[in-house]
Chains A and B, each alone.
Chain A
Amino acid sequence: MKIIELGASVTASNDRDAEALRARLKAKGILLVNVMSAAGSGKTTLLSRIVKDMKDLRFAVLEADIASDVDALTMEQAGAKSVQVHTGGMCHMDAGMTAAAFDALESTDFDIAFLENVGNLICPAEYDTGAALKLMILSVPEGDDKPLKYPLMFAESDILVISKTDALPYFNFDVEKCISRAKKLNPGIAVFPVSAKTGAGMEALESALRTIRNSEFRNPN
C-alpha cells in the first residue's frame, strides 16, 4: 500500500459538476437561480407570481422535493415549464442532480430557470448547484431572528426576499432589524420585502431579476 496525499475537499466532485453546469447554462443564455428557504415560506407562491408577472420571459422551474408533484403542477398552471425532482430523502440538491433535472426538461429555450431547493435553511447553503444566483426567502411568520440562527444561509445568498409582508400586522417581525442582521453577515446582500398575495414590492424584485438576467447575458438571444 502507498499513501497518497490528496488535500481535496470531500465535495470536490460536486464543485466540478457545478462549474460544468454553469458553463453549459451560460452558453445557452439561461440564468439559473437557486431558490432556498424553509418549508412553507411561500416559494411556490412567489415563483408563480413572478412567472405570471413577467410574461415576456420564458421560465423553467426545477422542483426539488422529497416526495409528490403538487408544486410542479402549480408552476405549469402559472405558465412555466417544470420538472419534479425527487431527492429520495436527501436534504439538498447538488450539481449532478440539477444537471439531470435540466436534461429531463428536454427543451433549453428559457431565459430564467428557478431551482426550487428542498425546504430547509441549513444544508442547501453548503452545496454549489451550478446556479449563477442564490436567492433565499424568509417569510414574516418565521421571525426576524433567523439570520442569527442560520448564518450560513444568509452569508451565502445574493438576494434575500422577505415574503408575506401582508402578514406584518399580525406578527412581531421587525423588518429593519432583520435587514441589519442579514447585512452584518453579508454586507452585499440585496433585500426585497414583498407580498406575492397583494403584489407589494414585487416590481422591485422583478426588475432586479431582469437586470441581472440582462447583465449576465449581454446579447439575450
Chain B
Amino acid sequence: MHEMGIVLHLAKTLDETAEQEKLTKIGRVVLQVGEVSGIMTDLFTDAWNYFKGRHPVLSESELVLETIPAVTWCDNCKRTYETVKYGKECPHCGSAETWLLKGNECIIKEIEAE
C-alpha cells in the first residue's frame, strides 16, 4: 500500500526533526499534498492514525492536509494550464511539449511542537 510507505517516511522525518530540535511533543502537522501526487488523502489519514501510536513524540499529533493545485507549463506557447482538467496536451495550442510545474509534491509545511 503506497500511503503506508509515505506515512512511514513522514514519521521518520518528524522523529529526526524532534531529535534535532529537542522536541518532546508534536501537535499539528501541516502537510501540503499536490493534486497529482497520487496520494489518497483518506487512506493517508487512516495510515497516519495507525502509525502515530508507535512514535511517542507523535502520539497526540493531528494531521492537517492542504491541497496544492497541479499546474502544467507549455513549452510551445509559453502558457500554463490546469493539469487535472487537460492532462498532457496543452488546451491553448495542442502541443504535448508540456511539463508539470507543481502538483506532485508532498511537503511538510509546518509543525506545532514543544
* A positions within 8 Å CB-CB of B: 1-14, 89-92, 94, 122-123, 126-127, 151, 184
Interface contact B5-A2, CB-CB below 8 Å: no
Given A13-B16, A91-B2, A151-B88, are A4 and B113 also a contact pair (CB < 8 Å)?
Answer: yes
Our pick among A9, A90, A127 for the contact of B1 (Cβ within 8 Å) is A90
Q: Taking the complex as formed, is B109 at the interface, i.e. its CB lies under 8 A from any CB of chain A?
A: yes
Flag if A91 contacts B5 (CB, 8 Å): yes
CB distance from B42 to the nearest CB of A (A): 17
Closest to B31 in A: A10
Q: Smallest Cβ distance from B9 to chain A, in angstroms?
A: 5
Closest Cβ neighbor of A148 among chain B residues: B88
Q: Is the interface of B mostly helix, strand, loop or mixed?
A: mixed
- Top 4 A-B residue pairs of the complex, sorted by shortest distance between their CB atoms: A13-B12, A10-B106, A6-B108, A13-B13
Q: Pick the residue among B6, B9, B111, B114 that contacts A6 (CB under 8 A).
A: B111
* A68 → B minimal CB distance (Å): 19
Given the interface pairs A4-B110, A13-B13, the reply to whether A184 lies near B5 with Cβ below 8 Å is no
- Decide if A1 touches B110 in the complex (CB within 8 Å): no
